[in-house]
Structure 1
Amino acid sequence: MDYFVGALKKYADFTGRARRKEYWMFILIYMIIQVVFAVLGLDVISMLVGLGLLIPSLSIGARRLHDTGRSGWWQLIYLVPLIGVIVMIVFLVQDSHDENDYGVNPKSGVPA
């Protein structure tokens, strides 16, 4: 839950880097919330939560891409049907690069 709250605290921070665990834990909790609302039949609330978490999702996605050495603009590839999702999953599961244009490696223990 700390990863989800941490991502919400940095909701509009498109700079820096996010580790794989931070990104995937955010996505996991986000999906659990959406499934719970869908099972309960709260479609309107589910849509509002999805809309409210759009900017934090884009933000943490950009920071995750920064960690792999790519620009956050790569998220636009989601607009390409099927191929875009596959390419983004490959990008998002890659390991962190050492120091790059977006800061030092978060695994090194030095804050970015």
Structure 2
Amino acid sequence: MNWRTPMRSYLNAIRKYATFSGRASRTEYWLFALFYFIFGAVAVFLDALLFDAVGEDPGPLTILFVIAHILPGFAVLSRRLHDTDHSAWWMLLYLTGIGIFILLIFALIRGTEGPNRYGVDPHGEGSVMPAAAHGHPQGGGGADIVAELERLSSLKERGAISEDEYAAMKARALGTGNPA
């Protein structure tokens, strides 16, 4: 794995900065957290270097960095909770202090396999359901595939799945295996 793959997960979380629906894999969530920590440390270092901001008062770069990441952080945590089949309302546990540990456990556990009430599996496992699961009769042929492709296109447009996830699921729906 090269550096682009982890960075892509971070940028995907930033692109979905206000998307509170859908699901986020553990990888997406934890790579967002890792890059948040790294870039935050760089902001603190630059504040110390450029603005002599050391100690209790954060510098202007750190403040801007934190403000810019509040919404994406809540959004990716919301989607991570959805992946474990929990409502985003669980984020209110932050207010209790001890709830932070519960949210940490939710962020660490494996998400539900296949689709759940919040969307398709971000790993793609079981995300393309057979036509019968969508209420289509078996043997419908092309109509089932067209309906599945329309569903996948809608998920991509809503931001519930990424471009790469869309390509993989489309290839599976078409029966071509792995996308080229």
**TM-score, normalised on structure 2?**
0.58
Q: Does 1:89 align with 2:100?
A: no
1:3 shift after superposition: 1.0
- Residue equivalent to 1:53: 69
Task: Classify 1:109/1:32 alpha carbon distance in 2 versus 1 (closer, same or farther; 3 Å).
Answer: farther
C-alpha distance in 2 between matches for 1:56 and 1:104: 20
Identity of aligned residues (%): 38
1:103 shift after superposition: 1.3
Aligned ranges 1:14-25 → 2 under 5 Å: 14-25=20-31
C-alpha distance in 1 between matches for 2:61 and 2:105: 31
Structure 1: which 4+ aligned runs deviate by more than 3 Å?
109-112
1:104 to 98, 103, 120: 120
**TM-score, normalised on structure 1?**
0.91
2:91 to 55, 75, 80: 75
2:14 to 8, 12, 17: 8
- Residue equivalent to 1:27: 33
1:109 shift after superposition: 6.7
Tell whether the 8 Å contact from 2:43 to 2:65 is kept in structure 1 after alignment.
Answer: no
C-alpha distance in 2 between matches for 1:79 and 1:47: 21
C-alpha distance in 2 between matches for 1:29 and 1:47: 16
C-alpha distance in 2 between matches for 1:22 and 1:58: 13
C-alpha distance in 1 between matches for 2:102 and 2:10: 24
Partner amino acid, structure 2, of 1:47 = I
Deviates more, 1:30-39 or 1:9-18: 30-39
Gaps of 5+ in 2: 1-6, 54-58, 128-151, 153-160, 162-180
Gaps of 5+ in 1: none
